[in-house]
């Protein structure tokens, strides 16, 4: 049971949870107000909830620290980006109580960032970090927040739709420096990420069975992956193996040195073939689209390219101008067939029924 007592002109409450006493001011000089607040706190405790006074003491700083600790103990690969987002949010909400980080305050933060000409995508990454902070706080024992604030997200219109056709791939291959040509080929056929390709070592290659393996933890989503190489890719890897350097563990290298940054060589080659602005990541989109065009089931294509979520996979399976032209040709062909049927006396489904009826009569006779 709790109790009520006075301090000066203000009524205070005293109540217990798990034997621990809590003291709270009613912030009123009216006894009825103190009684209602005490009854409310005792109701929270009877339901197994943390008294609201405890939640009122939790600061945003604590949520930020827990967020970064979660990244570190789970060894997440994007820890640097998480730290950047957390630092930006900390500048805005430092010292604030978690209960004061309301939707209205969050909208004010969004408006401020937009006035700073920050992109919607960058703001959304920061808002995602904020949502994660509150989600982790709600899962704590005891919970550090009583409810999760609604965090509005901005619409992003910066989704790239670049890809490369086979003819351009051949031209780019012949234009790039020799050490980057196999990197380009592997990316075009597999749709793998740049980091996954450049970090490949010979211990991950099984040339006898034509298999390339990425172990769990070596990919962006943390899941392992197995690739069965097609003949053209397999032949290229066999040639690379014959020319490998014994002092280098990497499959793709530049005179025995690990390939880290090749943006200048890439930009120069793309400009030379008339494709300025083409990104290496566009090969990933091209690889996915080519697999679908080849008739590979979507689930299998996702396993090969390493896409975990369907939404991202759908963004990469883009439609080219040639696809749209081919669709127009097929639509025209269908229209021609319909026009020919009308000219030959086709009157739609009713005429089809009449033809079937005549055919059945002939068969019966």
Segment 223-231 long-range contacts (CB within 8 Å, at least 24 positions apart): 223/306, 223/308, 225/303, 225/304, 225/306, 227/190, 227/192, 227/304, 230/189
- Averaged over successive runs of 10 residues, the pLDDT of the chain (365 residues) comes to 86 79 82 86 70 74 95 88 95 93 95 94 95 93 84 79 86 96 94 91 93 77 81 94 93 94 95 93 88 83 80 62 74 79 56 44 44
CA separation for the pair 307, 312 (Å, rounded): 7
- The answer to whether the beta carbons of residues 176 and 269 sit under 8 Å apart is yes
- The dihedral sign for the CA sequence 19, 21, 26, 30: positive
Q: Residue 360 class from Cβ within 10 Å (0-12 exposed, 13-18 middle, 19+ buried)?
A: exposed
What pLDDT sits at residue 229? Answer: 92
- The answer to whether the beta carbons of residues 146 and 52 sit under 8 Å apart is yes
What pLDDT sits at residue 154? Answer: 93
Domain extents in the chain: 3-49, 60-139, 166-316, 322-364
Q: Which helix (H) or strand (E) holds 111?
A: helix 103-115
> What topology is assigned to 60-139 in CATH?
DNA polymerase; domain 1 (1.10.150)
Tell me the pTM. 0.58
What pLDDT sits at residue 354? Answer: 45
Segment 183-187 long-range contacts (CB within 8 Å, at least 24 positions apart): 183/252, 183/259, 184/283, 185/232, 185/233, 185/236, 186/233, 186/236, 186/252, 187/280, 187/283, 187/284, 187/287
Q: Which tokens belong to 228?
A: 């069965």
Segment 259-266 long-range contacts (CB within 8 Å, at least 24 positions apart): 259/179, 259/180, 259/183, 259/198, 260/198, 262/180, 265/176, 265/177, 265/180, 266/176, 266/180
What pLDDT sits at residue 122? Answer: 93
CA separation for the pair 137, 38 (Å, rounded): 26
- The dihedral sign for the CA sequence 136, 139, 142, 144: positive
For residue 99, the SS3 value is: helix
Q: Which tokens belong to 239?
A: 């040639």
**Which DSSP string do the residues of 37-71 spell out, in sequence order?**
HHHHHHHHHHTTPPPHHHHTT-BHHHHHHHHHHHH
> Which homologous superfamily is 166-316 in?
Intergrase catalytic core (1.10.443.10)
Name the pairing type of β-strands 257-258 and 253-254.
antiparallel
For residue 97, the SS3 value is: strand
């Amino acid at each position: 049971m709790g109790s009520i007592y006075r301090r000066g002109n203000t009524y205070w409450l005293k109540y217990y949870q798990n034997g621990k006493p809590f003291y709270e001011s009613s912030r009123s000089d009216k006894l009825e107000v103190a009684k209602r607040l005490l009854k409310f706190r005792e109701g929270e405790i009877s339901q197994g909830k943390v008294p609201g006074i405890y939640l009122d003491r939790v600061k945003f700083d604590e949520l930020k620290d827990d967020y970064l600790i979660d990244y570190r103990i789970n060894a997440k690969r994007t820890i640097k980006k998480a730290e950047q987002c957390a630092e930006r949010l900390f500048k805005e909400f430092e010292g604030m109580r978690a209960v004061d980080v309301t939707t209205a305050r969050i909208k004010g933060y969004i408006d401020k960032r937009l006035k700073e000409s920050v992109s919607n995508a960058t703001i959304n990454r920061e808002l995602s970090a904020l949502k994660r902070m509150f989600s982790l706080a709600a899962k704590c024992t005891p919970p550090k927040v009583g409810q999760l604030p609604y965090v509005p997200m901005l619409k992003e219109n910066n989704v790239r739709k670049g890809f490369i056709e086979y003819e351009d791939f051949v031209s780019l291959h012949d234009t790039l420096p020799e050490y980057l040509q196999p990197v380009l080929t592997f990316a075009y056929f597999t749709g793998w990420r740049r980091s996954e390709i450049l970090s490949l070592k010979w211990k991950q290659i099984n040339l006898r069975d034509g298999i390339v393996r990425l172990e769990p933890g070596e990919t962006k989503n943390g899941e392992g992956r197995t690739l069965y190489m097609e003949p053209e890719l397999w032949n290229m890897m066999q040639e690379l193996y014959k020319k490998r350097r014994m002092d280098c563990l990497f499959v793709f290298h530049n005179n025995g040195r690990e390939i880290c940054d090749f943006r200048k060589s890439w930009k120069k080659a793309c400009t030379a073939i008339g494709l300025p602005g083409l990104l290496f990541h566009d090969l990933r989109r091209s690889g996915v689209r080519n697999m679908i065009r080849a008739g590979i089931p979507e689930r299998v294509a996702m396993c090969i390219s390493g896409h975990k979520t369907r939404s991202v996979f759908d963004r990469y399976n883009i439609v080219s101008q040639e696809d749209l032209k081919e669709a127009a040709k097929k639509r025209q062909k269908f229209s021609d067939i319909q026009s020919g049927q009308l000219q030959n006396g086709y009157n739609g489904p009713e005429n089809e029924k009449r033809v079937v009826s005549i055919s059945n009569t002939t068969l019966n006779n």
